[in-house]
Structure 1
């Protein structure tokens, strides 16, 4: 029997986001950064920290992996910090807001069916084309052999005809010489 999976101890981390503190209960700093969607190490830059205060860790530990936003300071303190800027929409002070994080569910592995079908089609085309080329190459070899044989036959016929012409010319010249001699 397999041993039960050991659950990692959760720690609570905090980073400021605007007028809120974003808390998250996570097993590691890396997991906290992922929950916040941070693309830099906020801990290394001194912007994020681990929280141990039981009052501040209660809600995040009840919602592990979820970002919990808590308004920092009172509305009056925030208004003073804004100075000349427009006042923000009012919220109840210290009311936790739970923000769902992105799902870690993996997408299903893509199907290779279309790729395999395309590969089979290409293989069939290449096999057919190779067969057509082999067939034409055989026909070409046959035609080249026939052409070679025909040229040899023509040369032989021409040689025989030339020999006959030479023989006839010799006989004619001999006959002319005999005629002229007497």
Structure 2
């Protein structure tokens, strides 16, 4: 039952993901959550996030930001890094993920999702059939409703860790610096 919340990969940071390897595997679209995945909650795009998005575009990836946040916040970030976006996405519902793939021109086999929350980001991606990468949140300070969900996430991640150990798989990957 808890498996529906398990990510395909759990890594310490978005900035440690080996995107070159995913491109070699045939992935061509990346759907990103923004807050606590690319920048701290509510922050504008910073140099690090802009450089990553530019690098991914140059590699040939199509990029889209999928957020449950309101348009002004999502548009501000997206415009700064020249990306497509969907606001008030209704994650974990499938609709936003399906619309994102349509906008990217990709499908379930060629799309990655990167986010920091199990019950919205990962669950939605898995329900849609998209490869999901869970990253640790950038900032530990979060809104109360997210803080409460983090306690439940810890329980799910405990079972995920046990499953990983049993299968001889890494639980939390450190990744590379992406350079």
After TM superposition, the score normalised by the length of structure 1 is: 0.20
After TM superposition, the score normalised by the length of structure 2 is: 0.20
